[in-house]
Copies of this chain bind each other. A is one copy, B any other.
């Protein structure tokens, strides 16, 4: 976007990945800092375990699911000390699945082994208002738009004491009505401070919160676990900050979560997200996508658990900036029952609207030793 605001809205910029191979094209999206991720793709090698991602990607064949797995494993083998690599790999992996699906004329969820495409209940995901009145107005609008579930998060929550938080929580419940699912997202505001988070539990119980999300930073296993054992008992959700499988595994096994939330654009793509979804089934914990960007990202995030009937809930962004809105020609829209589905089209089923995106394209140039090693490609 021409102007990026200092708010928790992840749709204000976008890093798209386009991969071409064998006459086919795939698109993916990283939920990550664009410039930093680009740098990780083309940087000079530091040593054997800190290679740029292009080392594992370019010139490879993409004919079968195994080829995607091989690229993902190569990145993990050759770039583990390049911290940004998992975020960058995410968009690459998503683009590879899109490409392979188009080549084989199959939706990605089929290629992942899902037999059926089950309905998901989208929750309207949005930021708290700056005041409780604004939160109330937003909740009313969401109710009027027909959503049966809604999430409020970030904004002022946790930043100015318990009383204002209680007012926001009450306003949210009042605005959406007593029957809708209401999720609350603290946006990691309490860091590792269990006592501060505990002070909100009573109010969360009072509004019948469906879950309490990310009270703490990702990976703060002890803090999550302690809160999960506190009274009153509010179901906990977290995991969007995980950038690899073992981090998500730790959150599932040690954090006392009821919901594991995975962003395919951060965890290493659809391949790793599917591994987490399988683990969630095995460990009897509910898998939920994390998505706060485009419908290309939304499609990617639905694929890993499209065939998991019991895992019903889906994050659905409703406050997208125009950039994120214009990325996909097709939209994933709730049907008459209020449900959404992974697109039943080849690949991710979303055509990237390159014409509409030209106006947002940012020229980036990177030179090392006077030699240009990156320039923003043509759309």
Which A residues have a C-beta under 8 Å from some C-beta of B?
4-10, 12-13, 31-36, 38-40, 42-51, 76, 80-84, 86-87, 154, 187-188, 191-192, 217-222, 241, 243-244, 246-247, 249-250, 253-254, 266, 362-370
Residue on B nearest A189 in the bound complex, by CB: B77
Ordered by A's residue number, 11 sampled pairs between the chains whose C-beta atoms are within 8 Å are A10-B50, A32-B50, A33-B46, A35-B44, A80-B188, A83-B83, A219-B250, A221-B246, A221-B250, A363-B368, A364-B367
Tell me, rounded to whole Å, the shortest Cβ–Cβ distance linking A292 to chain B.
9
| CA distance in complex: A367, B375 (Å) | 9
Tell me, rounded to whole Å, the shortest Cβ–Cβ distance linking A376 to chain B.
10
* CB atoms of B369 and A36 under 8 A apart: no
Q: Which residues of B contact A220 (CB under 8 A)?
A: 246
* CB atoms of B33 and A82 under 8 A apart: yes
* CB atoms of B45 and A4 under 8 A apart: yes
* CB atoms of B9 and A47 under 8 A apart: yes
* CB atoms of B46 and A10 under 8 A apart: yes
* CB atoms of A187 and B49 under 8 A apart: yes
Tell me, rounded to whole Å, the shortest Cβ–Cβ distance linking A40 to chain B.
5
Q: Which of B9, B40, B367, B370 contacts A33 (CB 8 A)?
A: B40
Q: Which residues of B contact A250 (CB under 8 A)?
A: 219, 221, 250, 254
Q: Which residues of B contact A49 (CB under 8 A)?
A: 8, 187-188
